[in-house]
């Protein structure tokens, strides 16, 4: 009986594995917030540790570049941008940013034979995420101010929860400022 070897996946699919750390870091930063975040401390620690280990392994196997590893850990910046934002808004904001970063990374991987264009796609994705994250945060604070939250964070202990008529997250994320 002849056992056939396991086929080697195409190079591009192995390089797509490099997107997993970006999502693991994005999941890990969901741990902080109020009301109770969707991710426990254990899951966040496991996700962050997995991102580090997978990045190191992918670098060693040359499935990821150093630029893509650094890019994958960019969601850590979002933890500070969305600090004190209600989890009801922070979670979708972070996940939407992760989707945009993923698109930039996929474009960069597709353009890997043209390093300048690949790097440019990463820079464009980072710039877009920074601008949209800042815009979303500013929109959240304008909304809370309009709802009458002063010196109190919505959904925080001792503060009233956000009302049902609060602006949906996608409106704050994608619409121009007033």
In a domain, 22, yes or no: yes
Range(s) of the domain holding residue 50: 11-174
In a domain, 120, yes or no: yes
What total of structural domains would you count in the chain?
1
Measure the CA–CA gap between 3 and 46, rounded to whole angstroms: 36
Measure the CA–CA gap between 95 and 117, rounded to whole angstroms: 25
**Do residues 29 and 3 lie in contact, with contact meaning Cβ atoms separated by under 8 Å?**
no
Residue 162: other Cβ atoms inside 10 A: 19
In a domain, 35, yes or no: yes
In a domain, 3, yes or no: no
The candidate with the shortest Cα–Cα distance to 48, out of 29, 68, 69, is 29
Which pLDDT does position 28 carry in this prediction? 93
Q: Where are the alpha helices (DSSP H) in the chain?
A: 11-16, 20-28, 41-60, 66-72, 75-81, 87-110, 115-146, 169-174
- What are 174's two structure tokens? 């994608």
**Residue corresponding to tokens 């630029």:** 67
In a domain, 1, yes or no: no
**Do residues 54 and 20 lie in contact, with contact meaning Cβ atoms separated by under 8 Å?**
yes
**Residue corresponding to tokens 């704050």:** 172
Which pLDDT does position 61 carry in this prediction? 83
**Do residues 82 and 133 lie in contact, with contact meaning Cβ atoms separated by under 8 Å?**
yes
In a domain, 4, yes or no: no
Which pLDDT does position 45 carry in this prediction? 94
Which pLDDT does position 90 carry in this prediction? 92
- What are 141's two structure tokens? 């604070």
Q: How long, in residues, is the chain?
A: 178
Which pLDDT does position 14 carry in this prediction? 67
User: For every one of its 178 residues, what pLDDT tens digit does the chain have, with 9 covering 90 and above?
Assistant: 555 454 444 466 667 777 899 999 999 999 987 777 888 889 999 999 999 999 999 888 888 889 999 999 999 999 999 988 888 899 999 999 999 999 999 999 888 888 899 999 999 999 999 999 999 999 998 888 888 887 777 777 778 888 878 888 988 888 876 6
Which pLDDT does position 12 carry in this prediction? 62
The pTM assigned to this predicted structure is: 0.86
Which pLDDT does position 8 carry in this prediction? 43
């Amino acid at each position: 009986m002849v056992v056939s070897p396991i086929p080697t996946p195409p190079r591009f699919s192995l390089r797509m594995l490099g997107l997993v750390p970006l999502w693991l870091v994005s999941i890990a930063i969901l741990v902080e917030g109020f009301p109770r975040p969707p991710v426990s401390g254990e899951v966040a620690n496991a996700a962050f540790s997995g991102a580090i280990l997978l990045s190191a392994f992918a670098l060693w196997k040359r499935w990821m570049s150093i630029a893509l590893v650094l890019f994958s850990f960019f969601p850590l910046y979002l933890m500070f941008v969305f600090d004190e934002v209600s989890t009801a808004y922070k979670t979708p904001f972070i996940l939407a940013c992760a989707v945009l970063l993923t698109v930039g990374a996929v474009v960069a991987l597709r353009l890997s034979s043209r390093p300048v264009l690949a790097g440019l796609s990463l820079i464009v994705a980072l710039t877009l995420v920074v601008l949209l994250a800042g815009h979303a945060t500013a929109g959240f604070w304008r909304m809370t101010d309009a709802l009458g939250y002063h010196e109190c964070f919505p959904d925080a202990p001792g503060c009233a929860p956000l009302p049902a008529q609060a602006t949906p997250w996608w409106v704050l994320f994608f619409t121009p400022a007033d």
